[in-house]
Structure 1
Amino acid sequence: MARPVVWIPRRLSEATLARARRDYEVILNEADTPGTADQIVEMSARVDAMIPCHSERFDAAVVARLDPRLKIVANHSVGTDHCDLPALKARGIAVTNTPGVLADATAELAMMLMLGAARHAVTGDRLVRTGRWDFWSPAFLVGKQVTGARLAIVGMGGVGRALARKARGFDMEIHYHNRRRLPPEQEQGAIHHDSLDTLLPVADFLSLNCPATPETTGLMTTERFRQMPPGSILVNVARGTLVDEAALLMAIESGHLAAAGLDCFREEPGGNPAFAAHESIVMMPHVGSATVRTRDAMGFLALDNIDAFFRGETPPNLL
């Protein structure tokens, strides 16, 4: 019996590729460039399964053109805002994701951005790196202390809870807003807020960890930044669409926000060039899950979903 054919449009971890080649016929995009709409449609007639990343978009127009041969889209991501899930379901195509395995890595990056934004990491690095550190004063690069501060988390899924665990090591007071209140064993003493209206005013640090949905698009507006305390700091390791970037710039330039730490942007790749003028904005190129351990785990979970599907079982992460 012929083995199923799997298209992998981006270069996944070596361990993932080795396992995939062991069990399937693999077509790998060696160029490691985002799959275009035409490429996705073309490959759908040649393969039984795909393991796309967030860079491959399955909008309604693309889904309408897919060949019936394609049976499963096993995303190498937690977020699925690049997929039109109703359209794929209507075509009978199974869709899965990789939840749970990237929470710690992404939370680590959120902590790095929080600390870097709080302690002037961009400016300090530039001064030392360029040989321009020739001055010291008690008023030099005075930042905001993380220890004992209030951390407000929007979205207490896996990443939000992992961040809360790590923040407790800094004696931070955890506040959160979520679609549903967590049970006490998951709250671990965190203070629940029914709305952003009560959460934002206590946010010395605000971390966005919620998914991108129609309800969360443009979540952080000028009005909501004004609700945060003067001198507070924003961290976003979720999706760039959560933030009105013009409003964020205004909040930074006015001094109402002391700093921001961003791993995601409305335009990716590339980011927002206007942010580069502000060393109080610490930026990373959407690499929250980029550790060897996590990339292996994501790839293996995508393959677990495909394995189950072709055994005739329900994939563990079927959406």
Structure 2
Amino acid sequence: MKSSIYITRRLPDSIVESLEAYFEIKMWEEDTPVPREVLLRETQNVEGIYCLLTDTIDEEVIKGAPNLKVISNMAVGFNNIDVEAAEQRGIVVTNTPGVLTETTADLTFALLMSTARRILEASDYLRNGDWDTWSPMLLTGQEVHGSTIGIIGLGRIGEAVARRAKGFGMNLLYYNRTRKIEKEEEIGIQYRELNELLAESDFVCVMIPYSPSVHHFIGKDELAQMKTNAILINTSRGGIVDEEALYEALVNKQIWGAGLDVFEEEPVSLHHPLLSLSNVVTLPHIGSASVKTRLKMAQLAADNIIHVLNDKSPLTPVNS
């Protein structure tokens, strides 16, 4: 008898077919998050859950699924899963790192460039019919080439962003919980303590994974240490930046601008104060959103379930 799994969102046919070869499948067929009551009901008898960051797989879900052996998250982050509760039950938790590194780094640098050079603002200026002449200081932004970038979190994606910045002749700085001496030499990047990085950088890129210990890691005090011409870029997780403090810093011109792909509450409300500011570029969490990368993520999440439920080691485990 085949094992059963539950998929919390409609997936491409090729991914579903790869899973149907091994398992009995139930899947939420909508392109919206599965309702809580449906999730609790449909996971009661399954051995695997294939989920997204938008699904809260907490202790209630885990306890309500006595046969559960694996939770496969189609994301690098896994703060939507109670890993400790899973660990206590001997349930394997997996994620999808690596395959989205370069794509997310591309988006991060695109967001940096768009914010610095006021790309969206300039496009709207043209489309709204406001462009009637050339002017010396019209829509002038911040220089990217030759400026200083400070990367908070030198993981895979942080390293990839640093390589792109190097191509623009930028001065590379980083802060990390542990120094990476070998990467300093390999990439040509210099370590700074956080306060030093904030004070020296023209661009501050937040690249650390979310956990409760880094909630509002960038807050009022950190923003006050940044240059008045500095730009904050966040493509990691929304909760790492205190959005209220960021709004105040932007309105009071403590910093020059911000580029955000993530928010503390997603999807973000259209009434969110940050969306009212012209010096903020906002995106709907599309860091890994290329066709090629999303298909790789989806297949890796599927392969993790296939491995675990066929008594093989998971490809990318979160827990032991």
State the match for 1:91 in structure 2.
Answer: 89
Give the TM-score normalised by structure 1: 0.94
State the match for 1:206 in structure 2.
Answer: 204
Name the SS for the 1:252 alignment partner. Answer: helix
Distance 2:298 2:181 in 1: 31
Q: Of residues 101, 104, 107 in structure 2, which corresponds to 1:103?
A: 101
Name the SS for the 1:246 alignment partner. Answer: helix
Distance 1:233 1:103 in 2: 22
1:272-313: CA deviations, max 9, x gaps?
621122111001000111111111111121122112212212
Distance 1:12 1:225 in 2: 40
State the match for 1:54 in structure 2.
Answer: 53
State the match for 2:135 in structure 1.
Answer: 137
| RMSD of aligned Cα (Å) | 1.6
Name the SS for the 1:207 alignment partner. Answer: strand
Q: Which amino acid aligns with 2:52?
A: C
Q: Of residues 244, 253, 256 in structure 2, which corresponds to 1:258?
A: 256
Worse overlay, 93-102 or 175-184 = 175-184
Cα deviation, residue 88, structure 1: 1.3
Worse overlay, 269-278 or 235-244 = 269-278
Cα deviation, residue 73, structure 1: 0.4
User: Are the counterparts in 2 of residues 15 and 296 from structure 1 also a CA contact under 8 Å?
Assistant: no
Distance 1:12 1:181 in 2: 39
- The residue correspondences of 1:155-174 to structure 2 (distance < 5 A) are 155-174=153-172
Name the SS for the 1:175 alignment partner. Answer: strand
State the match for 2:78 in structure 1.
Answer: 80
Distance 1:42 1:141 in 2: 54
1:243-273: CA deviations, max 9, x gaps?
1111101111111211110000011012562
Cα deviation, residue 68, structure 1: 0.8
State the match for 2:16 in structure 1.
Answer: 17
Name the SS for the 2:301 alignment partner. Answer: helix
Matched, 1:247 2:267: no
Distance 1:60 1:177 in 2: 34
State the match for 2:290 in structure 1.
Answer: 291
Cα deviation, residue 183, structure 1: 4.1
Structure 2: tracts of 5 or more residues without a match: none
Distance 1:290 1:270 in 2: 18
User: Are the counterparts in 1 of residues 62 and 68 from structure 2 also a CA contact under 8 Å?
Assistant: no
Cα deviation, residue 117, structure 1: 0.7
User: Are the counterparts in 2 of residues 9 and 32 from structure 1 also a CA contact under 8 Å?
Assistant: no
State the match for 1:118 in structure 2.
Answer: 116
User: Are the counterparts in 1 of residues 45 and 66 from structure 2 also a CA contact under 8 Å?
Assistant: no
Cα deviation, residue 162, structure 1: 1.0
Name the SS for the 2:173 alignment partner. Answer: strand
Cα deviation, residue 26, structure 1: 2.2
Distance 1:204 1:13 in 2: 41
Distance 1:174 1:166 in 2: 10
Name the SS for the 1:89 alignment partner. Answer: helix
How many residues are paired up?
Answer: 316
1:7-47: CA deviations, max 9, x gaps?
11112344322322333322221112212332222122242
Worse overlay, 173-182 or 34-43 = 34-43
State the match for 1:28 in structure 2.
Answer: 27
Name the SS for the 1:308 alignment partner. Answer: helix
Give the TM-score normalised by structure 2: 0.94
Structure 1 15/181 Cα, relative in aligned 2: closer, same or farther at 3 Å? farther
Distance 1:315 1:33 in 2: 28
Percent of aligned pairs with the same amino acid: 34
User: Are the counterparts in 1 of residues 70 and 309 from structure 2 also a CA contact under 8 Å?
Assistant: no
1:198-241: CA deviations, max 9, x gaps?
21111100000101112211011111001111110000000000
Name the SS for the 1:51 alignment partner. Answer: strand
Cα deviation, residue 132, structure 1: 2.1
Structure 1: tracts of 5 or more residues without a match: none
Cα deviation, residue 185, structure 1: 4.4
State the match for 1:41 in structure 2.
Answer: 40
Name the SS for the 2:150 alignment partner. Answer: strand
Worse overlay, 38-47 or 115-124 = 38-47
User: Are the counterparts in 1 of residues 19 and 306 from structure 2 also a CA contact under 8 Å?
Assistant: no
Distance 1:77 1:115 in 2: 25
Q: Of residues 67, 74, 84 in structure 2, which corresponds to 1:69?
A: 67
State the match for 2:277 in structure 1.
Answer: 278
